[in-house]
Structure 1
Amino acid sequence: MKLKTALLGAVATCALAPMAFAEAHEGERGRDGNVGILYWQAPSILNPFLSGGTKDIESASLVLEPLARYDETGQLVPWLVEEVPTVENGGVSEDLTTITWKITPGLLWSDGTPFTSADVKFTYDYCTHPEGGCAQLTKFGGVTSVETPDDTTVVVTFDKATPFPYGPFVGGESPILQAAQFADCMGAKAPECTDANFNPVGTGPFKVVEFKPNDVITFEANENYREAGKPAFASVTFKGGGDATAAGRAVMETGEFDYAWNLQLAPDVISEMEAAGKGKPVAGFGPLLERIMLNNTNPDPALGPDERSVVRPHPYLSDPAVYKAMSLAIDRPLLVEVGYGQAGKVSCNWVPAPPAVVSTTFTCDTQDIEGAKAMLEEAGWVDSNGDGIREKDGVELRMLYATSTNAVRQDFQALIKDWWEQIGFEVELKNADSSVFFGGDPGSPDTFQKFYADVEMYANTFNGTDPQSYLGNALCDNAPSPATQWQGENISRFCSEEYDALYATLTSTADAAERAEIAKKLNDIVIENGGMIPLVHRGRLSAHANSLGGVKLNVWDSELWNVADWYRIKTN
């Protein structure tokens, strides 16, 4: 049995330096001064294992790096290793139960100490600690051991044949932590290690000088970075907060910053900003999906934290007629037009890309308010007292609808609230600052992981072009709870024995076509059984200054994946 990668893009097997894809620019490290990066969703932590928020994962990627990652075409490329292991080059065993990584010799942490296989093994132990809560636990699914025969060799062993062994230590979501720095931060102590979580030592092109959570991060060039003359910038000012409009203006109109992430703005607004001539938008479609998550627990505030995290039937969202009617009432083409224009597409699926794994089971591009009303009526949800709110068996369709704060999401909330109220719901809207909503603070009641609402809306994506780890987010045992420090990827607390069994089949299936079909079926189970309501397949839309060179928008990994290659374009 051979490892097959045709499903989701080729693996780069040659021993290329990770930055070989960038334009060559000679000169001294730090020659171009400062670069300003603006993420209007402000980072709150620099440890990707303690946050599922994109803002935290991507800001950390300037410092923390994986063994391999995905380039802008979706191709798996070596990063801290000499080549990507495959069956063909002997790095993956014939029986697909082990993968052996060979670390590039001579790598240093930013503090000057050697980067070794012991750090890689420590990262595995850190994330899989039974008393901890690791936001990236699915990356290590099926791993039984990580061994280190020598300082530059890492052998990962799986419990069975694993045709796609590139979950652990691959992509921006699964970087390597320094064992020496995090040694006393295992298990339940992980969230308490503020200094390590805010100021990680890394192998990346920059190192942290000062981190002000939910505000500003100051980085400086890592003098121990492995490539001479890189990074071109001596420092980074990484500003968080504000909103997407201000971020876009700061790059494309005023020129105050060099890069603005996630410009969730209407198309006409982007065009007006670009016309100012200071910068330009860059966009690309990956697997980013704006969705409404459906709570599979009872979010009643009268229940304590433990009770509110237990997978149990929701008072009304456990009825398929209810969530299917909710979906039917939504005008997705209008949402695309209002929110994204050409940077959005209607989506009926949890996994909207790459094409090989996109299901064609569902259609959802036509709104049907009357059909939604009839569906609820037939299921026994009626407005018996004329107050406009349907009820059944003493349960009323009263809903708390939460999301993060930004103009597009509040527009979506207003529209969807109106449609749902037309079919018999009472809808209360709530929005929280994005730094809080996506922050992962176990003490906050407003994080998307705690999900103290009936439904919540946000976007999520995954690294790479194989959705296996991402689909693992819906496994029963991945639900956030107090026992996991409220970390975990199964935000809806969706639980299906059929799903879990089929996912196990995916992890042991080698044939590309078969893997694609299984992925589609897993997608369908979640949609059909009330895990979420997909809305919009979003393109990633960011902007950079005209004077900033080397930027290659990457929809398959961190947008900042090649920040070491950025440089200032000189003008006469």
Structure 2
Amino acid sequence: MYHVSKRSFLKLAGAAGTLAATPALVGRAMADTPPATARGQVVAGISQEPTVFNPLMPGSEYDQGIWWQVFSTLWHIDAEGRVVPDLAAELPTVANGGLSADGRIWKVKLRRDVTWHDGTPFTAHDVKYTLDLINNPDFRVRNRVGHSLLRNVTVAADDEIHWLLAEPFAPYMSVLSLTFIVPRHILSAAEDPNTAAFNSAPVGTGPFRWGKRQAGEYILLDRNPDYHGDGPWLERVVFRYIPDQTMLYTQFRSGEIDYLGLSGLQPAFDAEARALPGLRIVAAPAPFVEHIALNHAFPPFADKAVRQALYLGMNRVARLQAIYHGRPIETESYVPQGHWAYDDSLPRHRHDPEAAKALLDQAGWRVGADGIREKDGVRLAFTNSTSSGSQSREQAQQLLMQDWREIGVEMTIENMPGAVIWGDFWQKSQYQSVMVASNFLQGSDPDVTPRFSSKAIPAQGGNGLNTYQYKNPEVDALLDRGTREVDQEVRRKIYHRLQRIIREDLVFLPVSQSVIVEGVTDTLIGYKPNINASSNCWNLRSWYWAQ
């Protein structure tokens, strides 16, 4: 393991992983040790179905829960914010010659004992193929931020790869911590990697191998006996998909599910669950920010006065107390509280329906005969969507409808299964508004180029996650500066300014930073919440049953 130094470039690439909230190991006293041989299985209950199994393609945190098991990265960031080598034999640093002083020249040494699940040796050619595929304009990649700066990617030996960055890019160490490496020998043989059979039956180097998928029900992964790291200590893992969160909790309570995660335990079940024997209920701050995503290409939302009025009209405190029992942390930013780049001086939300009405009046949105405002023949009416089956969000939608009806705005609910909503509907900005929780960070770096750059709008041909279709030249310039700068204090000022613009523009309507309450069977050891990962399944390779 390597802790980044204060003055080097690597500090700026890796120190972003160190957050104030560092979760301690959760579970029994660790006198228990892993079994001599792997045994048993874990059934992980989730409320949304994983559907994207090529880890380079656009996917959700539910998909990431699968990626962490099947694939490996060059390195990852653990729960303490440390950058830990995985496929890399060591972290590249200035001291060991792996990084040039300006952070542009990289020489990465790789492990020699890694094989793909089909027995083929892993080499530097796989890393080069992965990086080249990400930059292939015909490939439907999640995003190319950082990777697009790659130049002269060269295989120096089977266990060493070199590249040059066109310019310094401080977040690249963090970006690579979430870049899963894919097999050249399989994907290069496919006619089109976008539609390759691999995308439905992936082959990786991770601790578990692809077993079976029953669409709409479960995904079964088997232990990889040739895994290059420690573990895994389980024979198999089953991700069971149960969209009804009442049923999900019922199966956890009855012991049919060993781990209830990602969507977490619904507030209505919290008190009962904590009183049940044999279960651990863990509240862990998460990097997800719950918000109302607004599609800025939808004409009413292009009007800043409308966005401001919606925010003033939203009774956020009442919603968090009534539905979530005050669990989440109110926020105005996309950066998690406790992160070194977080700006705690942003304007605080207030619920002021009269001010909202005045704003809309001034902007020319007049109340019509049916009580709904209109302007130039356009009614101030829109749909709001989220994944069906989430009782808490569905209740929140009902409250929002009432809040906004009071100021003359009509919201209708249009929910759909997770596998549908997070596909083209979300990725291609086919929505009007969406209730969603997002992790905006890149690994643990505060660069949000994929989220807010005008070049990262998928619906307009860009590669990224800017489904809001938001454009702002000053934001573009700040994003560019933030990735080129290597001084953390200078970067802090840049990202503070970015947060202020995003908040003032109300690109989205912020609600809260998530505190995910997850459940684990008491005799299951190794569960460790990690704010640097989008899924607390990140280290399933280390889980085992107490002996």
TM-score (norm 2): 0.90
Partner in structure 2 of residue 90 of structure 1: 97
Cα separation, 1, equivalents of 2:264 and 2:207: 28
Cα separation, 1, equivalents of 2:326 and 2:80: 20
Q: Counterpart of 2:383 in 1: which secondary structure?
A: strand
Shift of 1:408: 1.2
Percent of residue pairs identical: 28
Partner in structure 2 of residue 567 of structure 1: 544
Deviations 1:86-137 (A, max 9, x none): 3343322112212222112211112111111111111112222111221132
Partner in structure 2 of residue 550 of structure 1: 526
Letter in 2 for 1:525: I
Q: Does residue 399 in structure 1 map to residue 382 in structure 2?
A: yes
Letter in 1 for 2:430: Y
Shift of 1:373: 0.7
| Count of aligned residue pairs for this structure pair | 526
Cα separation, 1, equivalents of 2:247 and 2:356: 39
Cα separation, 1, equivalents of 2:15 and 2:529: 22
Structure 1 segment 195-344 matched on structure 2, within 5 A: 195-227=197-229, 230-251=231-252, 253-297=253-297, 314-341=298-325, 343-344=327-328
Structure 1 segment 14-33 matched on structure 2, within 5 A: 25-30=33-38, 32-33=39-40
Letter in 1 for 2:309: A
Shift of 1:483: 5.4
Q: Counterpart of 2:403 in 1: which secondary structure?
A: helix
Cα separation, 2, equivalents of 1:350 and 1:544: 28
Shift of 1:515: 0.8
CA pair 334-156 structure 1, distance change in 2 beyond 3 A: farther
CA contact (8 A) 1:99 1:156 kept: yes
Shift of 1:248: 2.9
Q: Does residue 372 in structure 1 map to residue 356 in structure 2?
A: yes
Instruction: Give the alignment's Cα RMSD to 1 decimal.
Output: 2.3
Partner in structure 1 of residue 334 of structure 2: 350
Q: Does residue 46 in structure 1 map to residue 24 in structure 2?
A: no
Q: Counterpart of 1:507 in 2: which secondary structure?
A: helix
Shift of 1:268: 4.5
Cα separation, 2, equivalents of 1:393 and 1:547: 63
CA pair 369-272 structure 1, distance change in 2 beyond 3 A: same
Q: Counterpart of 1:432 in 2: which secondary structure?
A: coil
Cα separation, 2, equivalents of 1:363 and 1:248: 38
CA pair 23-199 structure 1, distance change in 2 beyond 3 A: farther
Q: Does residue 508 in structure 1 map to residue 484 in structure 2?
A: yes
Q: Does residue 111 in structure 1 map to residue 118 in structure 2?
A: yes
CA contact (8 A) 1:67 1:80 kept: yes
CA pair 491-236 structure 1, distance change in 2 beyond 3 A: same
Cα separation, 2, equivalents of 1:315 and 1:493: 12
CA contact (8 A) 1:47 1:57 kept: no
Partner in structure 1 of residue 108 of structure 2: 101
CA pair 198-509 structure 1, distance change in 2 beyond 3 A: same
Deviations 1:516-560 (A, max 9, x none): 121122223233334211111102322111121111111211312
Cα separation, 2, equivalents of 1:418 and 1:315: 22
CA pair 416-367 structure 1, distance change in 2 beyond 3 A: same
Deviations 1:478-504 (A, max 9, x none): 1113857xx731111112222111111
Partner in structure 1 of residue 43 of structure 2: 36
CA pair 53-164 structure 1, distance change in 2 beyond 3 A: closer
CA contact (8 A) 2:44 2:260 kept: yes
Q: Counterpart of 1:458 in 2: which secondary structure?
A: strand
Deviations 1:152-193 (A, max 9, x none): 11223211122333144312xx2111111211457xx33322
Q: Counterpart of 2:251 in 1: which secondary structure?
A: helix
Partner in structure 1 of residue 407 of structure 2: 423
Q: Counterpart of 2:163 in 1: which secondary structure?
A: strand
Q: Counterpart of 1:401 in 2: which secondary structure?
A: strand
Shift of 1:7: 5.5
Partner in structure 2 of residue 460 of structure 1: 438
Shift of 1:56: 0.7
Structure 1 segment 512-523 matched on structure 2, within 5 A: 512-523=488-499
CA pair 227-356 structure 1, distance change in 2 beyond 3 A: closer
Cα separation, 2, equivalents of 1:566 and 1:2: 35
CA contact (8 A) 1:43 1:214 kept: no
Shift of 1:54: 0.8
Q: Counterpart of 1:355 in 2: which secondary structure?
A: coil
Cα separation, 1, equivalents of 2:251 and 2:442: 28
Q: Does residue 437 in structure 1 map to residue 421 in structure 2?
A: yes
Q: Counterpart of 1:62 in 2: which secondary structure?
A: helix
Specify which of 509, 515, 521 is matched with residue 539 of structure 1.
Answer: 515
CA contact (8 A) 2:232 2:542 kept: yes
Q: Does residue 451 in structure 1 map to residue 435 in structure 2?
A: no
TM-score (norm 1): 0.86
CA contact (8 A) 1:97 1:159 kept: yes
CA contact (8 A) 2:146 2:169 kept: no
Cα separation, 2, equivalents of 1:222 and 1:166: 27
Partner in structure 1 of residue 398 of structure 2: 414
Shift of 1:360: 3.5
Query: What 5-or-longer segments of structure 1 have no aligned partner?
Result: 12-21, 298-313
Q: Which stretch of the first structure deviates more once superposed, 145-154 or 34-43?
A: 145-154
